[in-house]
Amino acid sequence: MTTSRSSSRRSVLITGASSGIGLATAHHLLDRGWCVFAAARRLDAMEPLRSRGAQVLSLDIAEEASRRQLAERINGEIGALDALVNNAGYGETGPVETMPVERARAMFEVNLFGLIGLTQLLLPPMRERRRGCIVNLSSIAGRFVTPGAGWYGASKHALEGISDALRMELHDFGVKVVLVEPGLIRTGFEAVNAKSLVLQQYDPVWGPMMRSVAAGWSEGFRNGSSPELVASTIASALETSRPKPRYRCGSASNAVLLQRFIPTRLWDALVRQRMLG
């Protein structure tokens, strides 16, 4: 059943809306007149959105019951979303050799399986209505990886692949699928990993590499772009009738263009020089 509120305004669900890119996107789309459903685990952090008229909903994207409860609420209230912004995600750093597989698996549960699990629940009404747009937040790490971020990059590579398949599958149903690939954005990503990075710097084998990685990240994120830039890019993708399959934005994102023309060995050497000194 569609409410009068949602019938007169374009509706969007934004996951991971309690901070960073998700929060900035929610504010930006509210500014542009969208009916915003903002979902995350930390409801208190979304109170400013609620005060502006957003519907604030609880979501632990890694939990099936939480995904299902949210989807039932959305599908029951408005029938079909105009847009879904799959922003919820996180990254952990560490050498491939030493990161426990259970931690890597947890990252995949959020960045890939939970994201697609929620999309599967929300997609049928959009497909049946034959319109809508799904924006998946990837990263330049979805196009190339750097030392110390292999597992995170792998989760984003997987998201890129599944998004490509979904885009082709939904083409004849009128539902668009877009990948947004931010570069270095000032969202506090590096701060979340600070404790882990510090501990890894004392590893007898990998400590020197991780110290270089930490220094490189500190410099890169200090000069990073604002979350509002990504929010504006997402809005542009949602508000055009023919969105591009991919949008790059933010600091260092143009490196994706260079990689296409550089032999792998040379690219590896350039990345090692940049990240490891």
CA-to-CA distance for 19 and 77, rounded, in angstroms? 25
Per the CB < 8 A criterion, the answer to whether 90 and 107 are in contact is yes
The DSSP symbol for 177 reads E
247 as an active site residue: the answer is no
The residue annotated as part of the active site, out of 90, 152, 202, 247, is 152
Q: How many CB atoms lie within 10 A of CB 174?
A: 13
- What's at 118, amino acid-wise? L
The total of other beta-carbon atoms located within 10 Å of residue 196's CB is: 16
d(CA 27, CA 19): 11
Ordered strands of the 132-137 beta sheet: 55-58, 35-40, 11-15, 83-86, 132-137, 175-182, 246-249
Per DSSP, the residues of 4-65 read HHHHHS-EEEEESTTSHHHHHHHHHHHHTT-EEEEEES-SGGGHHHHHTTPEEEE--TT-HH
CB-count exposure of residue 267 (10 Å: 0-12, 13-18, 19+): middle
Rg (CA), the chain: 19
What are the residue numbers of the active site? Answer: 152
